[in-house]
Amino acid sequence: MRIVGPDELRAALSPRLVLDAVRGALIAHAEGRTTVPPPMHLVFPDVDGDAHVKAGMLLGEATFTIKLATGFPHNADHGRPTGGGALLVASARTGDVLAVLDDQGWLTAVRTAAAAALASDGLAPAGPVSLGIAGTGTQAALAAQWLRELRPVEHVLLWGRRPEHAVALAATIDGAEPIEDLARLREADVIVTATASRQALFPADAVRPGAHITALGADMPGKQELPITLLRSATLVADDLDQAQDHGEIARLDEILRRDVLLLGDVLRDGHQRTPGRTTVADLTGLGIQDAAVAEAALAALSF
C-alpha cells in the first residue's frame, strides 16, 4: 500500500489532467459505463460537521476508489482548513488496496471545481462571460480560476452572507468585485452558487433570463440555493439523476419535471443548443466516479 501525500498529488495533477479526467468520468457516467453506489453521509451536530463517503468505478478500469471527504466549518476558528479527507484506491481484479491518497480534501475540491467549470462552459452563452459567485468558501474561491481554464472571464461579482468575507476573497481573485446586493447578479452571464444554504438565496428575477447557473451547495437533503420558480422555467442539467433527486436542487421538483432533466455527461459529449432567453441550471451533487477518475489520473501521472 503506497501513501501519496498532498504535495505529490498537487504536483502530479495539472488543471488540464483534472478537467480531462472529470469530463471523461461524467461522459462515461451518462453512458452507463460506471458503478456509483449511493453516497454515505455522516453528521457531527456538536461541531456542525459532516462527512461524505463516495465510491466509483469506471467499468473495465483496473481500479476502484473509495473517497472520504469531510467538512468541519469550525476548524476555521483555529485557522485550520475546513475540508479534509482521504481516498483508498483498490484493484478491481484482486481487491488489494493499492494506494492511500492523503489529499486532505484537495482532490474533492478540484474535481468539484472542474465539474462546475465544465458545466458552466458547456451551458453558458458562447464567448467571454461575467461570472457571479454566491459563497466565500472553497468552491467560491476556485470558481473563477477553473472557469478561466476553459474560457475568458471578464468580470467577477462575489457575494457572501458575511460581506467582510466577500471583500477578503474578492481581493484574491483577478477582476473580482464584492457585492452586497444579490440583485446585481443580473449582470452575470454565469452564476455559481456554493453555499450551505437551506433556502433560496435570491428570487428568480435576480437572474437574467438566458443566464446559466451552476449550483453546488445542495449536497444533502434539506439544502437549497435556488428558488423553485427559477427551476420550473429553466433547462435543467444534473451530474446524476438519482443523487440530484435525492438531495440536489431538483429534489423539490415533481416527477414530471424530473423526466426533463438532462445529464451533464451528455451535454459535455454532444454540446447543448441553447434556447434564447431560457435560463439553464446545472445541479451538481458530485460523483464518486469523479473521485475515481482524478485518483486514476494522479496515479497514472505518478507512473504508479
- Which window, 30-38, 122-130, 180-188, 229-237, contacts a second copy (CB under 8 A)? 30-38
Q: Is residue 86 part of the contact set for a second copy (CB under 8 A)? A: yes
Residue 246 in the binding site for a second copy (CB under 8 A): no
Query: Is residue 70 at the binding interface for a second copy, with CB under 8 A as the rule?
Result: yes
Grid cell for residue 269:
459529449
Q: Site for a second copy (CB under 8 A): which residue of 11, 14, 40, 209?
A: 40
Single out the residue of 11, 14, 42, 232 in contact with a second copy (rule: CB under 8 A). Answer: 42
Task: Report if residue 3 touches a second copy, rule: CB under 8 A.
Answer: yes
Nearer to a second copy by Cβ, of 68 and 251: the residue is 68
Using the rule CB under 8 A, is 26 a contact of a second copy? Answer: no
Asked if 76 interacts with a second copy (CB under 8 A), we say no
271 part of the interface to a second copy, by CB under 8 A:
no
Q: Does 277 bind a second copy (CB under 8 A)?
A: no
- Per rule CB under 8 A, is residue 16 in the interface with a second copy? no
DSSP per residue over the chain, as a string? -EEE-HHHHHHH--HHHHHHHHHHHHHHHHTT-EE-PPPEEEEEGGGTEEEEEEEEEETT-SEEEEEEEEE-GGGGGGT--SEEEEEEEEETTT--EEEEE--TTHHHHHHHHHHHHHHHHHHSPSS-EEEEEE--SHHHHHHHHHHTTTS-EEEEEEE-SSHHHHHHHHTTSTTEEEES-GGGGGG-SEEEE----BS-SS-GGGS-TT-EEEE----STT-B-S-HHHHHHSEEEES-HHHHHHHSGGGGS-HHHHTTPEEHHHHHHH---PPTT--EEEE----HHHHHHHHHHHHHHTT-
242 binds a second copy (CB under 8 A): no
Q: How many other β-carbons are positioned within 10 Å of the β-carbon of residue 98?
A: 16
In the complex with a second copy, the residue whose CB is nearer, 43 or 300, is 43
Closer to a second copy by CB, 15 or 73: give it: 73
Instruction: Please identify which residue in 79, 94, 256, 277 interacts with a second copy, judged by CB under 8 A.
Output: 94
Least Cβ distance, residue 243 to a second copy (angstroms): 13
Choose one: 16-24, 78-86, 128-136, 236-244; the region binding a second copy (CB under 8 A): 78-86
By C-beta, is 66 or 236 nearer to a second copy?
A: 66
Return the C-alpha torsion angle 297, 35, 149, 51, nearest 10. Answer: -90
Question: Rule CB under 8 A: which residues touch a second copy?
Answer: 1, 3, 35, 37-38, 40-44, 47, 49, 51, 53, 55, 57, 64, 66, 68, 70-72, 75, 80, 83-86, 88, 90, 92-97, 100, 102, 104
